[in-house]
Structure 1
Amino acid sequence: MKTRLKARIDAMLEPWFPERRLFLKSDSETRFIRLHPSTQLFAFAGGAAVVAWAIVATAILLMDSIGSGNFREQAKRDQHTYETRLNLLASERDTRADEAQAAQARFNLALDQISDMQTELLASETARRELETGIEVIQANLRKTMKQRDAARRELAVLQAENAEAHEGTGLADAGGTVSETVDFLVGALSDTAAERDKILADAQQALNTADELEFEIKLMRDQNEQIFSQIEDAMTISVEPLDKMFRAAGLNTESLISQVRKTYSGQGGPMTPLSFSTRGEDPSDDELRANRILNQLDALNLYRIAATKAPFAKPVHTAVRYTSGFGYRRDPKTGGRRLHKGSDFAGPTGTPIFATADGVVIHAGWGSGYGRLIKIKHAFGIETRYAHLSKIRVKVGQRVSRGERIGDMGNSGRSTGTHLHYEVRSGGKAVNPMIYIKAANDVF
């Protein structure tokens, strides 16, 4: 059955694939191999399949090569755009830093003016109290003098009546002499009393004029206070809001951070002593309440600035470098596979200075397997930073470092394809994107 079917197929293929014989000759004998039409068809189909596969594979490779070239060009354009954006952000950051410094200078000047005004207010309050006491004493003396004047007038009237009813004679002359002396004494006393009264009235008028002048000066001081308070409040808004926005942009809880800093700096860096303008135990005035609110804001600003030095908001490299790779999944430069890149890469010359991005304690300074020469720094708020592939380490384990302090040099140690810095930020042991912190600080530092 199979033989007949094969013979029929060969007969059908004979016009296109006639039977052929392949002779193999040796020294002693000659042999041949018969190539049936079906065998030739199978060989032709196999060769055609191989050729088609080669054409498809070549086309795929060419398309992949063209696509990779376009991707590289696009990546270069994106990198150029990103570098341009980074330069613009750096210039904006410098401008914001200058504005913040100017606002801080204005704020310090306003504080000095508040201190001077507080001293003047206390002095004016003391002078006002002394003036009120003097006026009360003058008024008491005036009332006493007026009473003495009225008593003298009544006594004079009585003596004049007695003198009018007296009889003529030696006794009257003697009495007249006595009355004349008494009248002269009373007239002199009245003259002195009138002069003293006029002097008291003049002093009282002068005191009233002085009180009016002091009231006018106090009004001027209040107007100046209003302007100074407004300037200080504006300065506080300019200073505090960007810091709060920076922490929130980095995903940090500002209330928790400020609470931790307040506990740590409760001695020297704690809340400031509130102002007190009165020593009489009265309710605080509006100015006092406003000044205390400003002092509380100043304390919050101080705590924000302390917290900012303890979180990694600075850049690890201060010179011009190339941003070569970001946080996230990417193609592994060694194996070609897809894997998570847990930091950001900054490429530059060998020996480029590397700086700590926040205050902290060095917990590792040595070789770290694929990291090469590695530095780990533990910061506040459960944050850790890592600096890898260094050529030189300049710190030791247990050493305290400050924000902006040089800790090492850029290199190509460990699992690396070229000279660069691999920079990581870990929060609570989990790797986060370092550019979140760097971008959040662009408008502040």
Structure 2
Amino acid sequence: MTQRNESHEAPDATYDAIVIGAGPAGATAAMVLADAGRSVLLLERRGLPRFHIGESQLTYTAEILRQLGLYEDALRQGYPIKTGAEFIFPNGDYRRTDFADQGPLRQPTTFQVERAHFDEFLARHAARRGAELVENAMVHELLFDDDGRLTGVRYEHQKRSHVARAPWVIDAGGRASKIAHHFDTRREISWLRNIAVFRHYTGLDESNNPGHEGDIQIAGHRDGWLWAIPIWPDTISIGAVMPKSVLTGAPSRDAVLDEHLSRAPRILQRLRGTTPASETRVESDYCYYSDMVTGAGWLMAGDAGTFIDPIFSGGTFLAITTGREAARTVDRMLAEPERAGELQQRYAGLYKTGYDSYTRLISAYYESEYRLGAYLIERGFSVDRDRWFARVLSGDFWSDLNPLNTWLRGQRRWDTFAEFEPLHTCPIYPELDAAERAGSPVHDPATV
């Protein structure tokens, strides 16, 4: 047994909550807890900013930023504004979804972001609002009491070992999640085993864009699909998603990205005059889920529990949403500890309902062979200027009023989580959801 050097051991510290990971889920959780007057330690294993993919955002993301009091500041950052999504089919045809089709009182636009910048933006706000942010803090050990309850963490910072204790720990550590690895919670999604190759380009001139400025483009082809996401007015992220076997058989990651790009003339037209601004990166170990997302003394949020293919831009939104709801749950459990079991069960239902719905939407896209609109039309749905379709693409992953959600949930071949109690109240627009559920008309005051 290795003996610790006590001279390098800092005194123990106690908080109301500890949050592991300062990505969108963790930063949001820490911010919400600090706003509630709770003492919260936010530990980030790397220094900020740090690279991440997942640049395109949903309109529901913009709305939750507004609810968190961050929207106006985000607007001032200069991120490109996204008003819709263009889907390019393998035969070269395309269809666009306009997010304004969701209906009145729903946020019709959102941002495209450079994640290193955006993630730091969220983490710095959490610190300004009272969270204790510690960067380059590597969590080495989870601490449990004799009953198996998680009571804190041991982490290293500036070559000193620190112990922090709290009644509740939120693990938002993404793929590096300590809790997921400790309890071996992760399971593969066998039909979503892909890999992504991507890089950034500068010199973007959106006058070359054959579609709408700021849109994400998603182009399907025989070996996978491509994304094109403007992350600054002069910078665009380009990525190719494919089965691992396709990359294995390619001469290089650069070659496979360039060859796949040659299959999407509309994206190539948009790239005229640009030059690569980053190395070509690879993201693997793509999709997983966890049946256990809460336990004695802990909750997981965002990618710590589940990560799903980024085709419809839901990752950051689900991270921020589950981060906020995990924090709200902890705040309530601190106030009413006797309700902990009930509140954790509700949180698990919300977490799983959101990720389950998103997984099914992604699965439908792959099963459609990258022609989701035609696939849904064949099954009796409308997709052109249809509010339900626009809402699903905007983040409506909870409502049971949406007939597309109902159909997706009925497709048992896409089941992942073990049976759970779903939560069908939209966490972003609960009032609008309740009004529609009651049959009340929803009008935009500016139009009446």
More helix by share: 1
Normalising by the residue count of structure 2, what TM-score does the alignment of the two structures yield? 0.20
| TM-score, with structure 1 as normaliser | 0.20
Q: Which has the higher contact order (CA 8 A, sep 6+)?
A: 2
More strand by share: 2
Larger-gyration structure (1/2)? 1
